[in-house]
Amino acid sequence: MTWDLFIEQESHKAYYKSLMDFIKSEELTHDILPPKGYRLSCFNLTPYKDIKVVILGQDPYHNYHQAHGLAFSVLNDKYPPSLKNIYKELISDLGVSYPKTGNLTSWAKQGVFLLNTVLTVRAHEPLSHQKKGWEIFTLEAIKEINKKNDGVVFILWGNHAIRFSKYIDSSKHKIITSVHPSPLSARRGFFGSKPFSKTNEYLKSYGYEPINWDLS
Confidence band (pLDDT; 50, 70, 90) for 180? Answer: very high
Task: Give the pLDDT score at 145.
Answer: 97
Q: Under CATH, which architecture does the 3-206 domain have? A: 3-Layer(aba) Sandwich (3.40)
More confident residue, 206 or 16: 16
52-64 per-position pLDDT tens digit: 999 999 999 999 9
> Whose CA is closest to 32, among 119, 117, 121?
121
Domain parsing of the chain, residue ranges: 3-206
Instruction: Say what the pTM is.
Output: 0.97
The residue-averaged pLDDT of 2-31 equals: 98
Q: Using the 8-state DSSP alphabet, how is residue 32 labeled?
A: E
Task: Give the pLDDT score at 77.
Answer: 85
What does the angle CA 156 – CA 83 – CA 175 come to, to the nearest 5 degrees? 15
Task: Give the pLDDT score at 149.
Answer: 75
Q: How many CA atoms lie less than 13 Å away from 33 in the CB half-sphere? A: 22
122-171 per-position pLDDT tens digit: 999 999 999 999 999 999 999 999 998 789 999 999 999 999 999 999 99
| Percent of the chain whose pLDDT exceeds 70 | 100
Catalytic residues: 59
Beta bridge partners of 3: none
Task: Give the pLDDT score at 122.
Answer: 98
What mean pLDDT value characterizes the chain? 96
Task: Give the pLDDT score at 99.
Answer: 96
The residue-averaged pLDDT of 109-124 equals: 98
73-85 per-position pLDDT tens digit: 999 888 999 999 9
Task: Give the pLDDT score at 148.
Answer: 86
Tell me the C-alpha distance between 194 and 90, whole Å: 8
